[in-house]
Chain A
Amino acid sequence: MTKRFLTAEDVRRLGGPEILLEAETVVTPQAAEAAATAGVRLIGPAGAYAPPVPDRGPDAARAKASLPMLPEPSATDGVGLVVTVVGRNRPGVLAEITAALASHECDVADISQRNVGGYFHTVFTCAVPPGRDFGSIKDSLQCLGGEGDYVVRVMHESVFRFMHRV
């Protein structure tokens, strides 16, 4: 039978040793419990029931196709992440940051640094090798420094691209 949902009431009404479900049917938790209690097996097209992939509706496929067609500000070649470091100046800061970047095989495309009084800010733009997980690079950089020393912030270059390029 074609049903979008199987409820506990359906289970009680249909009964039997098993209920055959369509691929897209969602079984409510109460129905699953009622079936387990009554010893009714719920069978999907591929064996025991497993929740289907959510059907996001008829517009979703079109949306998926059209998203890549939306014009985007073009990517800046070779840049994947932007690292900004702000803090109190001391020897070794640059070395710590670049060592962390090197450990992730990030290629530094551009560096700029300014010193004002005892403080500095440094901006790195880096290329990330394909397949690298942005999140783990970010985490390992952002845990460098600390209070009273320096603070690192890592953002994806698309943030800057969307904000500053049309």
Chain B
Amino acid sequence: MPFTDHEILETVRMFELETFDIRTTTLGINLLDCADPDLESSCEKVYAKIVHHGRNLVEMAGGIEADLGIPIINKRVATTPMALVAAASGSKDLVPFARAMDAAAAEIGIDYIGGFTAYVHKGYSNADHALVESIPEALASTARVCSSVSLATTKAGINMDAVSHFSKVVLETARLTASEGGLGCAKLVCFSNPVEDNPFIAGAHIGIGEPETVLNVGVSGPGVVRSALERLGPEADLLAVAETIKRTAFKITRMGELVGREAARRMGTVFGIVDVSLAPTPAVGDSVADILELIGVERTGAPGTTAALALLTDAVKKGGAMASSSVGGLSGAFIPVSEDAGMIRAVEEGALSLAKLEAMTTVCSVGLDMVAVPGNTSQATLAGIIADEMAIGMVNQKTTAVRAIPVPGKGPGETHDWGGLLGTAIVQDPGRFGSEVFHSRGGRIPAPLQSYRN
């Protein structure tokens, strides 16, 4: 059956006017065979393997762009958690691994590489500890490396010692990158229940159950959902809103499925997952906050926002699940504050507080993302913010994350512009009360009752 004009123009409009794109094609590379008792040799192997597999990634994505006529914005690499690879070296300083990753990413022409990662939700191996200790220096001395740490899972509970340690690492990273407004922290995230096939930076890495190599795709399209809701108008009831979002998400995900199949075929590897996430950018109209406001809250953060976001995230997942059997990753709606013009406006106007943002993360697909906090935030307070978010993930059996940026020299209400995709942040106020005693107790919050499912 030929296509109707309506169908053709709808698709063209998505790409031309509604900033729809394939956000990322991410090649996952297993690096476990790069372990070596000799640190230098291990780093050599890491570099060589990433370059060996990733060399034609950018060219491949460019070829698909040219042949299909649709934009693929980012090409990235995700690796095995580096702590596992580095363990054999016995080194206390794992910065050389980050440098090897950075050099390999530069060589193959990509802007970010994820996988300077450790899983410490129940405890540390020696290599895990060395990796976490190496994070500030690794992020300050490289441009492309992203780091993530698993601090909690529903099965294991929350490793509060690691939460405290991670908070110290975040503050130290901000200090080392103070001249860039703490930018190093934008490349650093912690997780509760991390997903092992996440194609999106900064949390991208591939877990130990993943294949030797795997091609994952991330699609985005807040602008498309926004336009569909604009056309629907304010009279339609919420069932109609959910149905509209679901249908739009279906169409978006189908593009991910098409590109994922094609990219895997051209790379000669496994098509892993499509991550259908509404990921905003600072571009006008490319905003998740705008969608929430079209659903009907006056400003993001107003009463009703969490419910509207729950509807949005769920409808996106349902539309995605119908469109592809390979939906995975984080899939849902991201709410990175500084990267979303609508979220920034909401903070500016006093509609969106840190507390409301935390409530929203109970139903969004990730967590506290790109949240600026005062540069003088104490380790205990930052640990408290992170622990709260980890608890939400642990209890609700969902992935949650924290990517918080203590902006050096800035206090609540002040702004900092990182430029580019990272956008502008307004420093949030964590409040004047602390949680020193809670923080100093240390230890582990045991796994919740809902983890006992065997």
How many angstroms from the CA of A162 to the CA of B259 in the assembled complex?
10
A121 cross-chain contacts in B, Cβ below 8 A: 9
Tell which of A55, A64, A125 touches B2, judged by Cβ atoms closer than 8 Å. A125
B16 engages A153 (CB within 8 Å): yes
B213 cross-chain contacts in A, Cβ below 8 A: 54, 56-57, 60
Tell which of B41, B44, B69 touches A159, judged by Cβ atoms closer than 8 Å. B69
Q: Is B8 an interface residue (CB 8 A)?
A: yes
B9 engages A123 (CB within 8 Å): yes
B8 engages A160 (CB within 8 Å): yes
A8 cross-chain contacts in B, Cβ below 8 A: 40-41, 44
B45 cross-chain contacts in A, Cβ below 8 A: 4-5, 7, 28
Contact with A along B1-39 (1 / 0, CB 8 A): 111010111011001100000000000001001101010
Tell which of B11, B41, B212 touches A59, judged by Cβ atoms closer than 8 Å. B212
A159 cross-chain contacts in B, Cβ below 8 A: 11, 68-70, 255, 258
A97 cross-chain contacts in B, Cβ below 8 A: none
A26 engages B48 (CB within 8 Å): yes
Of A41-49, A76-84, A100-108, which stretch is located at the interface? Answer: A76-84
Q: Is A110 an interface residue (CB 8 A)?
A: yes
Give the Cβ gap from B91 to chain A, nearest Cβ, in Å. Answer: 15
Tell which of A28, A30, A156, A160 touches B3, judged by Cβ atoms closer than 8 Å. A160
Of B144-152, B266-274, B341-349, B373-381, which stretch is located at the interface? Answer: B266-274
B122 cross-chain contacts in A, Cβ below 8 A: none
Q: Is A116 an interface residue (CB 8 A)?
A: no
A156 engages B2 (CB within 8 Å): no
A55 cross-chain contacts in B, Cβ below 8 A: 212
B2 engages A79 (CB within 8 Å): yes
A160 engages B7 (CB within 8 Å): yes
Tell which of B8, B66, B269, B271 touches A57, judged by Cβ atoms closer than 8 Å. B269
Question: When A8-B41, A30-B44 are in contact, do A110 and B11 touch as well, CB less than 8 Å?
Answer: no
Q: Is B112 an interface residue (CB 8 A)?
A: no
B271 cross-chain contacts in A, Cβ below 8 A: 63, 67
User: Secondary structure of the A side of the interface?
Assistant: mixed
B52 engages A134 (CB within 8 Å): no
B265 cross-chain contacts in A, Cβ below 8 A: 64, 67
Contact with B along A6-17 (1 / 0, CB 8 A): 011110000000
B15 cross-chain contacts in A, Cβ below 8 A: 153, 155
How many angstroms from the CA of A138 to the CA of B257 in the assembled complex?
23
How many angstroms from the CA of A134 to the CA of B66 in the assembled complex?
8
Q: Is B53 an interface residue (CB 8 A)?
A: yes
Tell which of A59, A112, A156 touches B5, judged by Cβ atoms closer than 8 Å. A112
Q: Is A154 an interface residue (CB 8 A)?
A: yes
B34 cross-chain contacts in A, Cβ below 8 A: 5
How many angstroms from the CA of A58 to the CA of B270 in the assembled complex?
10
A56 engages B53 (CB within 8 Å): yes
Residues in A109-137 with C-beta less than 8 Å from chain B: 109-110, 112, 114, 121, 123, 125, 134-135
How many angstroms from the CA of A74 to the CA of B4 in the assembled complex?
16
Question: When A70-B261, A76-B2, A162-B257 are in contact, do A54 and B48 touch as well, CB less than 8 Å?
Answer: no
Residues in B49-91 with C-beta less than 8 Å from chain A: 49, 52-53, 63, 66-70
The 18 listed contacts between A and B (C-beta, < 8 Å) are A7-B36, A8-B41, A10-B41, A28-B44, A28-B45, A59-B214, A60-B212, A67-B271, A76-B3, A81-B69, A123-B5, A155-B15, A160-B8, A162-B254, A162-B257, A163-B251, A164-B11, A165-B1
Apart from A7-B45, A8-B41, A159-B258, what are 20 other A-B pairs with CB-CB below 8 Å? A28-B44, A30-B44, A54-B53, A54-B268, A56-B267, A57-B269, A59-B212, A63-B270, A64-B265, A67-B264, A76-B2, A110-B2, A112-B5, A135-B66, A138-B69, A153-B12, A155-B12, A155-B68, A159-B11, A159-B70
